[in-house]
Amino acid sequence: MDPLKTIGRSAPADDVMHLKPPVDPATLAYRQLLDGSFWQRIPAYRGVDEVTFLDHSWQARNSITNPQKLLAAVQDLVPQSFYDDVIEGFARAPMSIRVSPYLLSLIDWTDPYSDPLRRQFVPVASRLLPDHPKLTLDSLHEQADAPVPGLTHRYPDKALFLALDTCPVYCRFCTRSYAVGVDTDEVEKVSLKATEDRWAKAFRYIGERPELEDIVVSGGDSYQLKARQVSLIGDTLLDIDHIRRIRFATKGPAVMPMKLLTDDEWVDALTRVVEKGRRLHKEVVLHTHFNHPNEITAITRRGLDRLHERGIIVRNQAVMQRGVNDTVPVMQQLVKRLGFCNVQPYYVYVHDLVKGVEDLRTTVQTAIDVEKAVRGTTAGFQTPTFVCDAPGGGGKRVVHSFEHYDRVTGVSVWAAPSVKPGYFLYFDPVDTLAPEIQARWADVAEQDKMVEAAIAAARDHAAATAHASSIRR
Ligand SMILES: *Cc1c(COP(=O)(O)O)cnc(C)c1O
Ligand code: SF4
């Protein structure tokens, strides 16, 4: 019999050869998205109906910006001791704090210390760790690589345009804590006010650099742009002949997905820019920032479906964080859930060296291990690239591609031959190292020795392997 003839016919079940054992339903849990009036678990939102909760301006108006508002929302769900811890945590935070009611509703307040969303957005003093001695503000050198304020041109063909300095939420771990959010006692922010005068300078620079093809519009956060501003930025950039790609970066879908459902003006403005881009054979996409599968609910899916229906490509850039997504099951579930919602997992970053979040950073080794386990679980194009953006302006490097990595001292050495000469260093969190090494990090002279030893080892390695490479430095 011609086997092709049976294709398309429904064969009796017992005719089908199952070479694999039945799937464990637990592995499909990423398809079960939280639905219903989950926010009504929060005392302050008990009487909030769906229409109100889905209103993005209600979300913005009711965001939690201080411990008193937090207490007013969660009330007796948390013990006083936790609340005291939060008061102290807010006082010591280098970033301003802003948490949407949506996020607040997704936190398990019966176990706030281990909840992955609490860890990202609500600082508690008892879990803070001292910063790494090698940490500096603006660890990524964005200001040093900025030809005009708020425009970072580091890579040959792409630039990062920080359009504004506010976000729909503020993340404890923000890399741009040098610029984003209102001033706190800890950090006097460099002003990146959304002035169209500053934008004009940035647009002029972009127009004068024919090598630029790709602009990341970030901040701050594109969610905070008025619809009119989305159009202005999109139209202006698309009208520059050599610009081929624009990415609007926003954490919005992860922290306030209802805006995609209820802010028609903003979604329409974005859609028009995407469509204009398509007519000009240029690409306009949205880049977002989900870190944990719990951030993706049925509301998120509906919002993302709306973008998908309009042909808007969405990609995700996650940050690996301790106690949030630094395990294989969580990262696998995040990747699968994103794919399920038509979001392409693009990057997973090793956490940048940022002030006040040492408790969230992981080692490079953790990223290497999780990457190995995630690769192979889904389509290659849905598999994120795990990168380390080492301080000093070398840019993102694949975690497996270090020049040298001393797991004992936690020093990794990176090179970026097409970006910037020299070596770039990343440092694993000190508290993850052996006690005798922690003692060495407490001593300035020892710090330098550990760094020099790692660089020397990187040089030796480069010399020893040069014969095997056709690339000559
Ligand atoms: C991340 C980044 C980009 C975009 O890099 P991709 O690897 O293409 O996503 C551009 N400019 C700067 C300064 C960046 O940090
Ligand atoms: S949304 Fe992005 S830019 Fe804004 S605070 Fe969070 S990480 Fe920083």
The bound ligand whose nearest atom lies closest to the alpha carbon of 247 is 1
The bound ligand whose nearest atom lies closest to the alpha carbon of 139 is 1
By alpha-carbon position, which residue is closest to atom 8 of ligand 2? 174
pTM flag (> 0.85) = yes
The bound ligand whose nearest atom lies closest to the alpha carbon of 157 is 1
Tell me which residues have their CB closer than 6 angstroms to ligand 2: 167, 170-171, 174, 176, 180, 220-221, 251
Please say if the pLDDT value at position 23 is more than 80: yes
Distance 218 CA to ligand 2 centre (A): 9
Distance 168 CA to ligand 2 centre (A): 8
At 247 the pLDDT is: 98
Most confident segment among 151-160, 171-180, 360-369: 360-369
Please say if the pLDDT value at position 224 is more than 60: yes
* Atom in ligand 2 nearest the alpha carbon of residue 175: 8
**Nearest by Cα to 276 from 319, 330, 232, 213:** 232
Extract the tokens encoding 81: 């001791």
Cα separation values, 435 from 164, 406, 432, 440, 442, Å: 43, 16, 9, 9, 11
Domain edges within the chain: 38-127, 151-388, 402-473
CATH of domain 151-388: 3.20.20.70
Distance 177 CA to ligand 2 centre (A): 8
Distance 389 CA to ligand 1 centre (A): 10
What value does the mean pLDDT of the chain take? 91
- The Cα–Cα gap between 414 and 418 comes to 12
- The Cα–Cα gap between 338 and 340 comes to 5
Residues ≥6 apart with Cβ < 8 Å to 386: 320, 347, 348, 349, 350, 367, 368, 370, 371, 398, 399
Report pLDDT digits (tens) over 71-119. 999 999 999 999 999 999 999 887 778 899 999 999 999 999 999 999 9
